[in-house]
Amino acid sequence: MSDLKRTQLYTVHTSAGASMVDFGGWEMPVQYPDGIVAEHLYTRHACSLFDVSHMGRLLIEGPDRVAFLQHVLTSNVLALDVNKAQYCILPDKNGSAVDDAYLYRFEENRFLLVVNAANTEKDLSHLQSVLPAYDCTITDITDQWAAIAVQGPKSKEILSVLSGGQMLTEPMKNALNTLQMEGRTVLIAKTGYTGEPLGYEVYIRSADAVWLWNRLIELGAKPAGLGARDTLRTEAGMPLYGHEMGLDPDGKPMPIFAVPLAKFAVSFSQQKGDYIGKSALERQSAAFKRIMNRDFSDMADLPRRIMPITLLERGVMRGGMPVYRGGTQVGYVTSGTMVPYYRAEGEGLQTVITGETAKRAIGLCYVDSDLLENDIVEVDVRGKRLKAVIPACHMRSDAPPFARPILYRPEEEETAADGGGRFEKAVELLKRAEENHLWRQKQCINLIPSENTPSHAVQLLCASDPACRYAEHKKIKSFYDKDIFYYQGTKFIDRAEQLLTEEMRAYLGCSEVETRVISGQMSNMAVFSALMDWKNRLDRKHTPQRLGYVLNNHIIKGGHLSAQPMGALHDYIAVDPVTERSAVVNFPVCRDNIYKIDVEETKKLLDQYRPELIIFGKSMVLHKEPVAAIRQFVDQEHIPTTIMYDMAHVLGLVGNHFQQPFAEGAEIVTGSTHKTFFGPQRGIVGVNYRKEELKYGLWETIESRTFPGRVSHHHLGTQLGLLMAAYEMNTFKDAYQAAIIENAKYFARCLKSQGLNVAGDPAIGYTETHQVIVSVGYGIGAEIAERLEENNIIVNYQATPDEEGFTASGALRMGVSEMTRFGFGKEQFKELASLMADCILRNKDVSGDVEKLRGQFTEMRYCFNGSEFDDALEQLARRIGF
């Protein structure tokens, strides 16, 4: 093997006892003494290192770098922001792949293209042949920089030791960063070829490669070779050039759209213009769409596709084995192997990955495009036809920190619900409801920051007669904007709604309030719908344009779901034709405090994107939002925009103790009425437009997008209850809000002194809101929350801004509002902090102590009492039969 190339890590591999093989002209480790199965499993439960220095690393620089890459790659290079990477394919003119690759943008003015080792020379000559038409250069830096893939659930923890705790990358897939690791510069990418939700590829100067490899081993990573790399990528369903791309076993070129990833890797953006193979790819794309719609009448441009395949009988599939449906050959296995996996027990979030392992024979196949998921096929395994199935996938990566094997399970027929015994079930339901009510109201300490218990008066009004009525109403211009009701019997609720509107105007400090929205999410949808309608009001002859750009808080940084493209923005947000993504940009956060918006960085984005809508507000919220600073900036820069503050969590804190959104410059406030506010579960929209202003029209559109746009009946019972809650809030807010802030700060301090890891800035007492966030350890938030529930303490498990999502949650999100309302003060929060520390840190059973503490505080505060009020309340309850 003397003429083979060797990577910077060659001697590390041989001295670790690796078996070396020729791979694409490189002498590479195929496995270490532990073997492929052990290496595969170690990647899935801990962390493996892969030497990927053999892969070609090409630097593309120069004025025409974007135009060049747009021409030679399938992806939209303009959509690639700095510190992001994208999967791409090098197409040939017939729409087949020359190679697949990853494009990294670590710096503004350079791109790093990483290609397959065996294809590097071919790729280079292909790229060089196009290059003369462009003013840019390609430099092969394969020798100067080594590359190590660090993959598996422990990868983040291990690499974070070397970064000195500094955040490696943003938690999203394909995020990049440049970091110092113990004094050495590394380029780090949240990418990989194992399907691990936590996995990084690290680029480091050749001279430091051995150092990094050895440090990672010292910290608990183990080396893995090309064998495990192949079984891992096959299980993850990822294509390998030469198997799932390039030529098929018959020697015919495979179309790029045969690979499922093509959907993401191929762009037809106008900005991208013409490029190599584009027209062939457009034909493939058209065929792909037909096939996805199960129209198999014309599959000529995409006759076969790559799909996962699972053997249902004993055996192992290998690349090249024919696949049959009925008696007819429908394709080939392209990659096949036997992979090990850890068995799991339990369901849902309680799923536990056991130490017990098993194996399954899986693979990928290139089969006729009319095959569907769950189709049964046969594979010719060396003369024997074995039964196999086309499953949806072999594995999922969307529940970090672990990749989860998906085992093929034929659909089981659901047993029909037993029709009888409904009377008994009804009685049982009453008993269960009583049990639940008493547990949540008398025995549990509720710290969910999105919840509150309304007073008896509010609850009683909610259940009183309007609860079963309709009161649709609309302002009619012919009657000078007088509200016209469509139903009789509504005078009482009409008056109540007017009073509620007045109370909420006074509370929010604004000119107009819409109270008919029945949730915070609906409040936002009414506003987004109105903004879109308002934007298109002068042109009704075209399909309305959607909103874009919108500036919001990213969900991972604590943003509301109801302000995300996947949430309430979904039907109203435009797609940016350049990036081909939702036209949303996120508030940058401070480097030293990820819970706080970075105002100076935000100003740069405002100048760059000039968003038409700015949405403040978070569901994980420790700080005031910088409304005044941003208002001042957009006014000064004349950026035509609308500033909205989604106050869902902090609606009950509007005032001197927290923020006065309208006084600070917000135009629209939305919120839910049941988190820090005292009401039943509803929403609210307030605006501060005056009749003479142009944007008063936007307000009128919000009204019409509420009714008839969103609601027909608007839940009149809870609307009535909300009026009482508004009376309570306007009467008691000063004392209540002061107590909330004081309790939250004190609770945070007590948790900290109990040894818990409280998030936020100690200089301000960790929080400026009702919320307190405690980190309990990466990935175990849900487990701790479950333990607390067993001890009668109800909290949210929560992913912090540097975690990947809810299954990786390492924090608890808590709010003091409900317990403050039940009379908890400093003394009780101190005791609670100590009980929580016992439960979280020492796994002590504190359920009895919690119940006892809770039992002393069942009387609601910050609401009306006294004999006159109590008598009236009692009479209402008695006479309406509650």
Partner 1 sequence: MNFPEELRYSKSHEWVKNENDEVVIGISDFAQSELGDVVFINLPQEGDSVTVGEAFGDVESVKAVSDLICPVSGVVSAINEELLDAPEKLNRAPYGAWIIRVAEVSETEELLGSADYEAFCAAEG
Catalog residues that contact partner 1 under the rule CB under 8 A: 19, 30-31, 35-38, 40, 227, 231, 314-316, 318, 337-338, 340, 359, 361, 382
Smallest distance from partner 1 to CB 320, Å: 12
Task: For residue 527, give the H/E element and its range.
Answer: helix 520-535
Nearer to partner 1, 151 or 681 (CB): 151
Smallest distance from partner 1 to CB 40, Å: 8
Nearer to partner 1, 17 or 762 (CB): 17
CB under 8 Å to 298, separation ≥6 — which residues? Answer: 287, 290
- Report how far residue 584's alpha carbon sits from residue 549's, in angstroms, rounded to the nearest whole number: 6
Nearer to partner 1, 385 or 861 (CB): 385
Nearer to partner 1, 2 or 488 (CB): 2
Smallest distance from partner 1 to CB 37, Å: 4
What secondary structure, in 3-state letters, does 688-701 show?
A: CCCCCCCCHHHHHH
Nearer to partner 1, 379 or 808 (CB): 379
Nearer to partner 1, 361 or 816 (CB): 361
Nearer to partner 1, 383 or 419 (CB): 383
Identify residue 108 by its one-letter amino acid code: E
Nearer to partner 1, 43 or 76 (CB): 43
Smallest distance from partner 1 to CB 213, Å: 23
- Report how far residue 833's alpha carbon sits from residue 819's, in angstroms, rounded to the nearest whole number: 13
CB under 8 Å to 602, separation ≥6 — which residues? Answer: 551, 587, 588, 626, 630
Question: In Å, what is the CA distance from 342 to each residue of 99, 155, 447?
Answer: 33, 18, 36
Smallest distance from partner 1 to CB 227, Å: 6
Smallest distance from partner 1 to CB 573, Å: 46
Smallest distance from partner 1 to CB 50, Å: 16
Smallest distance from partner 1 to CB 339, Å: 8
| Sign of the Cα pseudo-torsion (308, 309, 315, 321, in order) | negative
- Report how far residue 713's alpha carbon sits from residue 518's, in angstroms, rounded to the nearest whole number: 10
| Sign of the Cα pseudo-torsion (326, 332, 334, 339, in order) | positive
Cα 618-687-469 angle, rounded to 5 deg:
90
Q: Kindly provide the b/e burial profile for residues 749-788, where b requires at least 16 CB atoms within 10 angstroms of the residue's own CB.
A: bbbbebebebbbbeeebbbbbbbbbbbbebbbbbbbbebb
Assess contact for 202 and 163: CB atoms under 8 A: no
CB under 8 Å to 509, separation ≥6 — which residues? Answer: 654, 660, 662, 663, 688
Nearer to partner 1, 36 or 832 (CB): 36
Smallest distance from partner 1 to CB 18, Å: 12
- Report how far residue 303's alpha carbon sits from residue 321's, in angstroms, rounded to the nearest whole number: 18
Assess contact for 186 and 179: CB atoms under 8 A: yes
What phi, psi does 838 have (nearest 5°)? -60, -40
Smallest distance from partner 1 to CB 19, Å: 8
Smallest distance from partner 1 to CB 331, Å: 20
Nearer to partner 1, 36 or 555 (CB): 36
Alpha helices in 685-825 (DSSP H): 696-706, 716-753, 781-790, 817-821
Nearer to partner 1, 386 or 716 (CB): 386
Assess contact for 245 and 40: CB atoms under 8 A: no
Long-range contacts formed by 666-669: CB under 8 A, 24+ apart: 666/616, 666/627, 666/631, 667/642, 667/643, 667/695, 668/527, 668/642, 668/643, 668/644, 668/702, 669/508, 669/510, 669/644, 669/645
Smallest distance from partner 1 to CB 143, Å: 29
- Report how far residue 741's alpha carbon sits from residue 449's, in angstroms, rounded to the nearest whole number: 13
Nearer to partner 1, 384 or 432 (CB): 384
Q: In what order do the strands lie in the sheet with 771-775?
A: 757-758, 771-775, 811-815, 796-798
